[in-house]
Structure 1
């Protein structure tokens, strides 16, 4: 069975074992090596493949051909070439690491596990050992796809929030409806800083129905407790149930979703809807996706705020040979008001996202992402007598430390700036937190 994998979940061992090896004075091999190092694996494969009848059996040639074939998605050809290398040099760690990747791409998890464990037993550096552990985790995930699996997690977080209520920093504001009179900003609308504790957990399952088709689902909760501003304690529950279908380089998913958000112990907003997604893996390093989301948003006791939310978007991700991953995407959408007399509750939106991650040290992965979203509301606000417009920016940076496969410690910093033409919706916010997570 041929299994495709996400470029976001796979690192490249070879970059850590010495990708930039010299290929001698051979001009053809030198050119192919340079193409590989510049990320042009398909071009290197075309250059080398035609020479196989006459050069098969040369260790340097076969190793390069194996690397190029793997980069070009020719996984079976990669196995054949790398087997010839190992027949002559059984202790060639580089060839064993790459043939393990080829087996993994082909879905031959038993062979992939054996070769990754062989490389690990050769006394590789700590950073390579950490990368191999992630490959072995990927092997385990693929093995799990053949049987029902249930996984869960628990999280505990501590942090400092400069603006727990997303309030304005201004002391007063004018209301045009009352002739421009100035009103003081109440304590509930003025920014308040506080420390907090967050508890979260969840459970997910996956049950295969037939080759490439599976039922997925899960449920999760989160509860945030502020030290002083308990009026802004909040929590959420959500659940999902859906289907995923893998077909060659494509994966399709459709899931029903339901959630509720609580503020100070009371239901504040409920959501019911679905998400559909198509994901395409071009090769081992490049992935694209398109998605559609719908949710009916209801506010108990505040029916005037109810809306239908539609969002459509796309994303692209690329993994470099050195292990770094970058991704970006864009989306557009609308929230349509359900009360035709409350057009100021609905809005159109457009946004962009960008982010990435990289290995910082053994067991440490750094990450950063940013999001910019513009919102324009459909009608004039009845008190401010103008159409609300927001431009919101979010930046998040941090690192994930994994002392073992089950434990993760994540310190991070996030910044939010919502630039709005309506005073009460104009705010900025900084959050510093540390989260400890245990997977089961």
Structure 2
């Protein structure tokens, strides 16, 4: 039997203070809603959804019921049903910011980034506390590429980083000669070639966008520039880098294919050290708004203006899996492999095969604080013996980062982190350790 109109109005007025004053707590108007709430508390989201699903046809339009339905549907992975339920709550109670927040999560889960962004803007306009609005922004930024529907989008950010580097030139330590392989000719490090400690400051800017052509095709592009300056002994390693890419994307259902042309230039101490040109192909498969696979193949041409023997073709392919949890935490894991082949003949010692693994976890401590760990291990096997040392180079490089992320206000992010690199190499001049502590302030727009 349907609920009388006057009764619905009474329930709306009665439940609103509870929704605004204590997000997540809803007035259980009857036994059905109370039963579903108890099942959710017990962790049985599927059963809670089934209990409410049986009553939805008769109860849809009652904010207390719809709120319970939206929460149960989301917990059970029925994201499209959660969207419908929360839309009914927002329609009945436009000022209910908690319901808008939940609608934003549900829209993101089904891949409607445009709709989720619009909800986020309304929530901020309604004066929702900063931490709750930021939890939406953090959630959406994680899957920035999902902006494939509706209007074209352009985003960017600028960063200022200051830090201390124990090995700015990735050089061996002073004991390196003691590590010489048997039979190695007498040698010594050139002055300043050993590990150099230095402080540094860096400024980075990025802009990226997607121009929508129709429901499936779009143009994509990005550009990043960074300038880094060191103190004291690190001055010769001042650098500047510019990367840019442009291409097309095609999306159908859960699949998206992207093909981009890439270009980059890297300058060291005022001179061009390396130029790169190539193509990148990607296939992204999204299970839902929380999980995705990303498989790629990248082919690049590396050119060294002052060291032409190092010119090479680099080909790398791999895949990774990303999973965002409902509390905003995330984890990812991936693997990749490839090779770097010199253009010149008789320099196989400069080319190598590579394979690597990477993984990471980010824990959402609060709405605006998170801790993260990233790990990367890569092995490189070179094609021939080094002409000086007489041994074939093998590298085992491990890179780890531990840090925290703080969002003090919308659009701002402060990230202190500790990064450690260990490259175990059969050549003493490429065997090194490096530790970098840095603090980055980022402004997104």
TM-score over 0.5 (shorter chain): yes
Q: In 2, Cα distance between the equivalents of 1:111 and 1:237?
A: 32
Once the 2 structures are TM-superposed, how far is the Cα of residue 417 of structure 1 from its aligned partner?
A: 0.4
Q: Does 1:354 align with 2:356?
A: no
Aligned partners of 1:223 and 1:235 also within 8 Å? yes
> SS in structure 2 opposite 1:190?
coil
Q: Does 1:51 align with 2:54?
A: yes
Q: Which moved more, 1:203-212 or 1:143-152?
A: 143-152
Once the 2 structures are TM-superposed, how far is the Cα of residue 379 of structure 1 from its aligned partner?
A: 1.1
Return closer, same or farther for 1:335/1:321 CA change in 2, 3 Å cut-off.
same
Once the 2 structures are TM-superposed, how far is the Cα of residue 94 of structure 1 from its aligned partner?
A: 5.7
Residue 215 of structure 1 corresponds to which residue in structure 2? 219
Return closer, same or farther for 1:48/1:120 CA change in 2, 3 Å cut-off.
farther
Aligned partners of 1:221 and 1:236 also within 8 Å? yes
> SS in structure 1 opposite 2:190?
coil
Q: Does 1:162 align with 2:162?
A: no
Residue 11 of structure 1 corresponds to which residue in structure 2? none
Return closer, same or farther for 1:101/1:207 CA change in 2, 3 Å cut-off.
same
Residue 245 of structure 1 corresponds to which residue in structure 2? 250
Q: In 2, Cα distance between the equivalents of 1:139 and 1:288?
A: 12
Return closer, same or farther for 1:297/1:118 CA change in 2, 3 Å cut-off.
closer
Aligned partners of 2:206 and 2:224 also within 8 Å? yes
> SS in structure 2 opposite 1:210?
coil
> SS in structure 2 opposite 1:173?
helix
Q: In 2, Cα distance between the equivalents of 1:362 and 1:28?
A: 26
Once the 2 structures are TM-superposed, how far is the Cα of residue 68 of structure 1 from its aligned partner?
A: 4.7
Q: Does 1:324 align with 2:329?
A: yes
Which digits, 9 at most, give the CA deviation of each residue in 1:177-220, with x for residues without a partner? 99534322223431110111212223334322222322122322
Return closer, same or farther for 1:362/1:111 CA change in 2, 3 Å cut-off.
closer
Q: In 1, Cα distance between the equivalents of 2:149 and 2:342?
A: 42
Which gives a bigger RCO, structure 1 or 2 (Cα 8 Å, sep 6+)? 1
Return closer, same or farther for 1:224/1:99 CA change in 2, 3 Å cut-off.
closer
Once the 2 structures are TM-superposed, how far is the Cα of residue 286 of structure 1 from its aligned partner?
A: 1.5
> SS in structure 2 opposite 1:184?
coil
Residue 409 of structure 2 corresponds to which residue in structure 1? 404
Residue 66 of structure 1 corresponds to which residue in structure 2? 70
Q: In 2, Cα distance between the equivalents of 1:316 and 1:71?
A: 22
Residues paired across the two proteins, number: 421
Once the 2 structures are TM-superposed, how far is the Cα of residue 285 of structure 1 from its aligned partner?
A: 2.1
Return closer, same or farther for 1:284/1:338 CA change in 2, 3 Å cut-off.
same
Q: In 2, Cα distance between the equivalents of 1:412 and 1:214?
A: 36
Residue 8 of structure 2 corresponds to which residue in structure 1? none
Return closer, same or farther for 1:108/1:196 CA change in 2, 3 Å cut-off.
closer
Aligned partners of 1:196 and 1:226 also within 8 Å? yes
Q: In 2, Cα distance between the equivalents of 1:234 and 1:342?
A: 27
Q: Does 1:433 align with 2:425?
A: no
Aligned partners of 2:250 and 2:257 also within 8 Å? yes
Aligned partners of 1:99 and 1:115 also within 8 Å? no
Q: Does 1:424 align with 2:429?
A: yes
Once the 2 structures are TM-superposed, how far is the Cα of residue 161 of structure 1 from its aligned partner?
A: 0.5
Return closer, same or farther for 1:67/1:27 CA change in 2, 3 Å cut-off.
closer
Once the 2 structures are TM-superposed, how far is the Cα of residue 33 of structure 1 from its aligned partner?
A: 5.7
Return closer, same or farther for 1:189/1:403 CA change in 2, 3 Å cut-off.
same
Scaled by the length of structure 1, the TM-score of the pair is 0.80
Q: Which moved more, 1:334-343 or 1:149-158?
A: 149-158
Aligned partners of 2:350 and 2:382 also within 8 Å? yes
Q: Does 1:98 align with 2:106?
A: no
Q: In 1, Cα distance between the equivalents of 2:396 and 2:142?
A: 39
Q: Does 1:203 align with 2:203?
A: no
Where do 5+ consecutive residues of structure 1 fail to align? 1-15
Q: In 2, Cα distance between the equivalents of 1:270 and 1:241?
A: 17
Instruction: Identify the match of residue 187 of structure 2 among 179, 183, 190.
Output: 183
Aligned partners of 1:258 and 1:271 also within 8 Å? yes
Q: Does 1:227 align with 2:227?
A: no
Residue 273 of structure 1 corresponds to which residue in structure 2? 278
Q: Which moved more, 1:199-208 or 1:185-194?
A: 199-208
Aligned partners of 1:304 and 1:342 also within 8 Å? yes
Instruction: Identify the match of residue 382 of structure 2 among 373, 377, 380.
Output: 377
